[in-house]
Amino acid sequence: MANINPNQEREQWGSKIGFILAAAGSAVGLGNLWKFPYMAGKNGGGAFVLVYFIILFLVGFTLMLAEIVLGRYTQLNAIGAYRKIRKRWAWVGGLGVLAGFLILSFYSVVGGWVINYLVKALSGALNITDAEVLGNMFGELISGTTVPIFYHGVFMLATLLIVLGGIGGGIEKSNKILMPGLFIMVIILAIRAMTLPGAVKGIKYLLIPDFSKLTIGVVLDALGQVFFSLSLGMGCMITYGSYLSKDTNIPQSATIIPLIDTGVALLAGLAVLPAVFAFGFEPSAGPGLIFITFPAVFAQMPLGTFFAVMFFVLVLFAALSSSISLLEVCVSYVVDEWKINRKTATIGLGLILFLIGIPCSLSLGPWADFHILPDKGFFDTFDFVSSNILLPLGGLLLCIFVGWIWGTDNAIEEATNGGTLEFKLAGIWSFLVKYVGPVAIAIVFMRSLI
């Protein structure tokens, strides 16, 4: 139970709102802006949204609280947190650090695409209504050599510079700009989309449940989306929780963060689906919603270039708020465990991640025929291993660890600041983390492997 670096003063969040915005920023990412509208479109709209909200409480809140409590109690990185309580469980934290590392290596490539499209939007190059032409443009970008790697480098540099500033001066300060900016832009885009002729059909589709569409597949998709949307199982919330002061109301924070994340996802749905319906596009178009469908939609709108620019700034903000948390998980580990200063750790990791991202980018173009797993190049392999194996396995073991190894009584003691805070749902949370969470995540895990 030895503490790591006991004499080193640990950085802390400057304010409660700073932590909430940073943690919400970690959860809010590209998945909120394309995957939630896509999953809702694919799964009958309102029925999916209703199930999503139920699972958000049962699984999202449960794991969010477990991770934050574990981080605040130990004041350590993801690996150190497990080790402090049970030395043999340190490897579970290692799964989270590895997941964050792998995800950021290819997430940065996608972030680079977003910057490239922001440049295209500013120049008016996206003012095209033909989805086929836009599809060819996107295909040309991702299968290229130097251009996507250059923009991947720009995105990684932006992430690195924010994390270099530390918790208060870098991550907290940037999220106080990124998150309110993100909210303002997604609200404006949602209002614009909802006022388009024919948009009512999309609004009804998203908000009014059609229970005839409710199947076990919809429930499983909602379960998977909640889990992956909240950045659970990768040590982000353990790491961010470790910078919390002891007087923070964790149950309150663990409630607000998933609600912010879901609010952004719902607003994104109101920005995407009404516009998609208004212009007769397919609501289940997948990642192409961002890079193909939406540019075609904007090109048909009055002030389309302005809204296209706003949209890609919004997507960039969402991507950055997540990427800085992924890099911070790795930096925190290196600083705590290897005793390397933040500047050296951040620059070193940023450079390594940039280099690893190069084969991820090339695997979608010149290296497309080189496979690591069957039919999967670097990009798809890293995505599969992190999203389908490391994250659900990390989440499952987190529930077992907090529920049965450390014990929910100890976790509740920490969450209530030694009994000084009221936590009315303590008994329900204890049941959820011990029984519901592990079963739900095991289902996600098995389904993701199949």
pLDDT digits 0-9 by tens, 59-76: 889 999 999 999 999 999
Please state the pTM of the whole predicted model: 0.90
Q: How confident is the model at residue 8, as a pLDDT?
A: 52
Closest CA to 114 of 103, 102, 99, 126: 126
Number of residues assigned to the chain: 450
Q: What is the C-alpha separation between 211 and 18, in angstroms, rounded? A: 39
Residue 210: pLDDT above 90? Answer: no
Q: Which helix (H) or strand (E) holds 208?
A: none
- Residue 376 sits at φ, ψ, to 5 deg, of -130, 125
Lowest mean pLDDT among 198-202, 277-281, 332-336: 277-281
Lowest mean pLDDT among 281-290, 293-302, 426-435: 281-290
Residue 209: pLDDT above 90? Answer: no
Torsion of CA 157, 72, 411, 399, to 10 degrees: 10
Give 105's Cβ-side CA count (13 Å radius). 27
Q: How confident is the model at residue 344, as a pLDDT?
A: 96
Q: What is the mean pLDDT of residues 199-223?
A: 85
Residue-wise pLDDT tens digits, 110-160: 999 999 999 999 999 998 888 789 889 999 999 999 999 999 999 999 999
Placement of tokens 């995505």 in the chain: 383
Alpha-helix residue ranges (DSSP H) falling in 279-376: 288, 294-299, 304-338, 342-362
Query: In the structure, what pLDDT confidence band is assigned to residue 169 with cuts at 50, 70 and 90?
Result: confident
Residue 7: pLDDT above 70? Answer: no
Angstrom CA distances, 328 to 80, 215, 309, stand at: 14, 39, 28
Q: How confident is the model at residue 284, as a pLDDT?
A: 62
Closest CA to 287 of 364, 215, 189, 350: 364
Q: HEC string of the chain? A: CCCCCCCCCCCCCCCHHHHHHHHHHHHCCHHHHHHHHHHHHHCCCHHHHHHHHHHHHHHHHHHHHHHHHHHHHHCCCHHHHHHHHCHHHHHHHHHHHHHHHHHHHHHHHHHHHHHHHHHHHHHCCCCCCCHHHHHHHHHHHHCCCHHHHHHHHHHHHHHHHHHHCHHHHHHHHHHHHHHHHHHHHHHHHHHHHHCCCCCHHHHHHHHCCCHHHCCHHHHHHHHHHHHHHCCCCCCHHHHHHCCCCCCCCHHHHHHHHHHHHHHHHHHHHHHHHHHHHHCCCCCCCCCHHHHHHHHHHHHCCCCHHHHHHHHHHHHHHHHHHHHHHHHHHHHHHHHHHHCCCHHHHHHHHHHHHHHHHHHHHHCCCCCCCCCCECCECHHHHHHHHHHHHHHHHHHHHHHHHHHHHHHHHHHHHHHCCCCCCCCCCHHHHHHHHHHHHHHHHHHHHHHHHC
Provide the 3-class DSSP secondary structure of residue 184: helix
Query: 227 CB contacts (<8 Å, ≥6 apart)?
Result: 59, 60, 63, 233, 391, 392, 395, 441, 444
Are 206 and 270 a contacting pair, CB within 8 Å?
yes
Angstrom CA distances, 326 to 23, 56, 242, 393, stand at: 11, 22, 15, 18
> Number of helices and strands (H, E) in the chain?
24, 0
Amino acid identity for residue 310 in this structure: M
More confident residue, 444 or 251: 251
Burial 76-91 (b: 16+ CB within 10 A, else e): bbbbbbbbbbeeebbe
Query: In the structure, what pLDDT confidence band is assigned to residue 247 with cuts at 50, 70 and 90?
Result: confident
User: Domain locations in the chain?
Assistant: 18-66+96-230+251-382
Residue 215: pLDDT above 90? Answer: no
Residue 109: pLDDT above 90? Answer: yes
Q: What is the C-alpha separation between 397 and 390, in angstroms, rounded? A: 10
CA 238 to chain centre: 15
Residue 225: pLDDT above 70? Answer: yes
Are 77 and 337 a contacting pair, CB within 8 Å?
yes
Q: How confident is the model at residue 197, as a pLDDT?
A: 85
Q: What is the mean pLDDT of residues 262-289?
A: 79
Q: What is the C-alpha separation between 24 and 21, in angstroms, rounded? A: 5
Q: What is the mean pLDDT of residues 303-307?
A: 87
Placement of tokens 């049962």 in the chain: 58
Q: What is the C-alpha separation between 214 and 211, in angstroms, rounded? A: 5
Residue-wise pLDDT tens digits, 371-424: 999 889 999 999 889 888 898 899 999 999 999 999 999 999 999 988 888 888
Q: Which helix (H) or strand (E) holds 111?
A: helix 90-123
In this prediction, what percent of the chain has a pLDDT beyond 90? Answer: 50
Q: What is the mean pLDDT of residues 157-168?
A: 92
Residue-wise pLDDT tens digits, 333-373: 999 999 999 999 999 999 999 999 999 999 999 999 999 99
